């Protein structure tokens, strides 16, 4: 058996025979268990189809097959929902059920094409589900039927966290990648998608939230008021004029005293217009 890893330049071919005995045993054990896991997926799907056809959930006093899978089979709610979706599509398109039961198509890939596969196009979509990654497969589905793309949603996942699913156009996604580059540069490390969202939220609120804008305005006015109280009185006469007057008068006051003489004082001098304002 050969495993091929494609890099930017030449492909590197790795031979299993190059593994030592311990590593080879670990690999063979993992491979066997993976095959059993894929087979068990198909077997579980078959049992859920049988339960659906027998309406077994109703005999347990339940209104939904998914509830039966969660309550009586102990499945996670999300996993149960996926299995039920594939089970019902597998009844409508038997070739999909067979592909899953044979281990050719994973449950997750079967779920990805469930919205578009029909008896007429089943060969094409089953082949794609066999050969494409889940992400690429979802892209293919979205291209054929944009309305079948994953719905936008938010769900609580515990520990005070919420998982959000968004749908963006390719152009919008490219713009978001650019923002991710900027956030990564700011943080000095590769930013996670969560960190990108947080930074975008903070930035938008800073510029658009009317309450935050009002707080900044109030803080700015307080600082300006404090600065004006601490600073000396602002000069209303241009500096160039003050310099010229000082040069002309030598820093002496030229105010007229009652007897008609000039003050000539050099302390506490001020500069005024010829005609006081």
Residues 145 and 241 in one domain: no
Residues 13 and 150 in one domain: yes
Residues 153 and 34 in one domain: yes
CB 263 within 8 A of CB 254: yes
CB 124 within 8 A of CB 118: no
Q: How far apart are CA 123 and CA 144, in angstroms?
A: 16
Residue pLDDT, tens place only, 219-229: 888 887 777 77
Domain boundary among 137, 165, 193: 165
Domain boundary among 165, 199, 219: 165
What was the pLDDT predicted at 124?
95
Residues 49 and 125 in one domain: yes
What was the pLDDT predicted at 3?
45
255: domain range? Answer: 236-277
Cα–Cα distances in Å, from 69 out to 49, 63, 97? 11, 12, 18
Q: How far apart are CA 108 and CA 134, in angstroms?
A: 7
Residues 156 and 172 in one domain: no
Residues 172 and 185 in one domain: yes
Checking if the pLDDT of 202 tops 90, the result is yes
| DSSP per-residue letters across 66-115 | HHHHHHTT---HHHHHHHHHHHHHHHHSHHHHHHHHTTSS-HHHHHHHTT
- Segment of 88-97, 157-166, 265-274 carrying the highest mean pLDDT: 88-97
Residues 198 and 146 in one domain: no
What was the pLDDT predicted at 158?
85
Q: What is the mean pLDDT of residues 207-212?
A: 87
Give the chain's domain count. Answer: 3
Query: At 168, is the pLDDT very low, low, confident or very high (cuts 50, 70, 90)?
Result: confident
Region of 238 (left: φ > 0; alpha: ψ -120 to 50; beta: rest) is beta
Query: At 150, is the pLDDT very low, low, confident or very high (cuts 50, 70, 90)?
Result: low
Q: How far apart are CA 68 and CA 87, in angstroms?
A: 14
Average pLDDT, the chain: 83
- Helix or strand holding residue 205 (H, E): helix 193-208
Residue pLDDT, tens place only, 96-140: 999 998 888 999 999 999 989 999 999 999 999 999 988 899 888
Q: How far apart are CA 264 and CA 262, in angstroms?
A: 6
Residues 154 and 175 in one domain: no
Residues 274 and 185 in one domain: no
Residues 33 and 127 in one domain: yes
Domain boundary among 108, 137, 165: 165
What was the pLDDT predicted at 264?
78
CB 257 within 8 A of CB 275: no
125 vs 258, residue with greater confidence: 125
Within a 10 A sphere around the Cβ of 230, how many other Cβ atoms? 7
Residue pLDDT, tens place only, 227-243: 777 655 555 677 778 77
Residues 14 and 39 in one domain: yes
Residues 25 and 161 in one domain: yes
| pTM, entire model | 0.51
122 vs 274, residue with greater confidence: 122
Q: How far apart are CA 32 and CA 129, in angstroms?
A: 22
């Amino acid at each position: 058996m050969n495993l091929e890893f494609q890099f930017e330049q030449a492909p590197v071919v790795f031979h299993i025979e190059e593994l030592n005995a311990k590593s080879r045993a670990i690999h063979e054990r993992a491979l066997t268990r993976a095959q059993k896991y894929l087979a068990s997926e198909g077997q579980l799907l078959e049992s859920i189809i049988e339960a659906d056809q027998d309406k077994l959930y109703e005999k347990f006093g339940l209104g939904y097959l998914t509830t039966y899978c969660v309550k009586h089979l102990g499945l996670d709610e999300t996993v149960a929902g996926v299995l039920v979706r594939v089970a019902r599509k597998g009844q409508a398109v038997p070739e999909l059920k067979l592909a899953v039961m044979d281990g050719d198509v994973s449950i997750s890939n079967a779920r990805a094409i469930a919205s578009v596969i029909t008896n007429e196009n089943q060969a094409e979509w089953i082949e794609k589900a066999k050969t494409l990654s889940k992400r690429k497969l979802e892209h293919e589905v979205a291209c054929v039927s944009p309305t079948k793309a994953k719905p936008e949603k938010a769900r609580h996942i515990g520990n005070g966290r919420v998982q959000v699913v968004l749908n963006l156009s390719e152009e919008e996604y490219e713009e978001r990648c650019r923002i991710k580059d900027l956030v990564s540069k700011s943080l000095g490390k590769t930013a996670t998608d969560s960190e990108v969202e947080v930074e975008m939220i903070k930035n938008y609120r800073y510029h658009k939230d009317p309450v935050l804008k009002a707080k900044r305005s109030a803080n700015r006015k307080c600082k300006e008021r404090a600065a004006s109280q601490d600073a000396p009185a602002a000069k209303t006469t241009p500096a160039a004029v003050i310099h010229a007057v000082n040069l002309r008068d030598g820093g002496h006051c030229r105010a007229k005293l009652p007897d008609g003489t000039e003050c000539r004082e050099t302390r506490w001098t001020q500069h005024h217009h010829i005609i006081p304002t």
